[in-house]
C-alpha cells in the first residue's frame, strides 16, 4: 500500500481555490507518493494546463493517482443524463491525459433534500422524486455507466464508484450497481468516512472490489461532521483482502491542512506498519 492525498484536503470548497501545483509541492515535502486531483479544483481543462500539471508531478516524482469528478446520473430527464454521461467521458479523457489510472465516480442522488445538514441527519438517504422509485434511479445509473464503458476501456482508465450519498450510501447500493454493470472497468472507491453507522461491517462488504481508498480525518472538528475512525480496523480489512493500492487522504477538518495532513500521515503509517 502507498499513501497519497487528495488536493481537496487543502481546499474545502472555499471561495478561493488552492492551486493544484501548490498541493503537489506540499505532498512532496510531506513525503507522500501521489496526489488525487479534484476536478472542480482545476483552473481549466486546457491541454496546456493539464500538461503542466502532469509535468509538475513528474518533476516531483509524484503519481497522479485519480481524478475525482462530480456527476449525477440520477435524473428523470434523459437530456440531463446524456449531459452527465458526456461530462464523465470528457473527464475520462482528462484523466488519460494526466496519466491517472482511474476517476472517482458518484452514482448521484435525487436532490429532494436541499440542506446538507438535513441529508446527514438522514444518514445520506432521501426520498425519490414523486412519481419515481429507487429502481428507476438504479436503472439510470447502470445505463449511464454502461455508456461510459467504451471510453474508459479505450483510454485504460477505471471508473471507481465511491460509497457516497444517495444510491451508494449503503454497501447494498454500491455492490448492486457494480454487479449489474459487470465490467472490469468499474470498481469501487472505498471511503472510510461515508458510512455513518456500523461502518466497519459495511466497509468490509465493499472492500473486495476496491481499487482506491479514501482515508478521512477531522482534526479541529469536521467541516460538516466528524467520525471517530479506528484505522487499525481499516487496515485489518485491507490486509485481509490483500489490498495493494493507494490510500488517499481526504482531510475534512477545520485545522490547517499544513499541520493536519502530516498528523494524518503519521497516523496512517503507524497503522500500516503494524
Domain that holds residue 228: 2-272
Q: What are the tens digits of pLDDT across the range 243-260? A: 999 999 999 999 999 999
pLDDT tens digits, one per residue of 106-120: 999 999 988 877 887
pLDDT value, residue 244: 95
Return d(Cα 75, Cα 20) in angstroms, integer: 31
Q: Which residues contact 167 (CB under 8 A, 6 or more apart)?
A: 74, 107, 108, 109, 134, 137, 138, 141, 173, 177
Q: Is there a contact between 95 and 102 (Cβ–Cβ < 8 Å)?
A: yes
What letter does residue 156 receive in the DSSP assignment?
Answer: T
Packing angle of the helix pair 257-272, 20-29 (nearest 10 deg): 50
DSSP letter string, 86-105: HHHHHHHHHHHHHT-SEEEE
Query: What is residue 165's predicted lDDT score, i.e. its pLDDT?
Result: 84
The candidate with the shortest Cα–Cα distance to 74, out of 167, 175, 150, is 167
**Intervals of the chain under pLDDT 70:** none
Give the CATH number of the domain where residue 53 resides.
3.20.20.150
* Number of structural domains the chain divides into: 1
**pLDDT per position as a tens digit, 196-206:** 889 999 999 99
Amino acid at each position: 500500500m502507498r499513501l497519497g492525498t487528495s488536493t481537496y484536503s487543502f481546499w474545502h470548497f472555499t471561495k478561493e481555490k488552492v492551486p493544484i501545483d501548490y498541493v503537489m509541492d506540499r505532498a512532496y515535502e510531506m513525503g507522500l507518493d501521489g496526489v488525487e486531483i479534484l476536478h472542480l479544483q482545476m483552473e481549466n481543462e486546457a491541454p496546456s494546463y493539464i500538461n503542466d500539471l502532469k509535468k509538475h508531478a513528474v518533476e516531483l516524482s509524484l503519481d497522479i493517482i485519480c481524478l475525482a469528478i462530480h456527476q449525477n446520473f440520477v435524473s428523470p430527464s434523459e437530456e440531463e443524463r446524456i449531459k452527465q454521461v458526456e461530462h464523465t467521458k470528457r473527464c475520462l479523457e482528462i484523466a488519460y491525459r494526466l496519466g491517472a489510472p482511474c476517476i472517482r465516480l458518484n452514482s448521484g442522488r435525487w436532490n429532494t433534500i436541499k440542506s446538507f445538514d438535513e441529508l446527514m441527519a438522514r444518514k445520506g438517504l432521501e426520498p425519490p422524486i414523486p412519481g419515481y422509485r429507487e429502481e428507476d434511479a438504479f436503472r439510470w445509473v447502470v445505463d449511464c455507466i454502461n455508456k461510459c464503458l467504451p471510453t474508459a476501456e479505450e483510454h485504460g482508465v477505471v471508473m471507481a464508484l465511491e460509497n457516497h450519498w444517495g444510491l451508494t450510501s449503503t454497501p447494498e447500493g454500491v455492490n448492486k450497481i457494480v454487479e449489474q454493470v459487470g465490467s472490469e472497468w468499474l470498481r469501487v472507491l472505498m471511503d472510510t468516512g461515508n458510512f455513518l453507522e456500523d461502518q466497519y461491517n459495511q466497509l468490509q462488504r465493499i472492500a473486495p472490489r476496491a481499487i482506491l481508498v479514501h482515508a478521512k480525518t477531522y482534526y479541529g472538528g469536521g467541516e460538516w461532521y466528524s467520525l471517530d475512525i479506528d484505522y487499525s480496523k481499516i487496515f485489518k480489512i485491507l490486509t485481509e483482502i490483500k489490498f495493494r493500492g493507494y490510500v488517499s487522504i481526504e482531510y475534512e477538518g477545520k485545522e490547517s491542512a499544513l499541520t493536519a495532513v502530516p498528523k494524518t500521515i503519521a497516523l496512517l503509517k503507524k497503522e500500516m506498519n503494524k
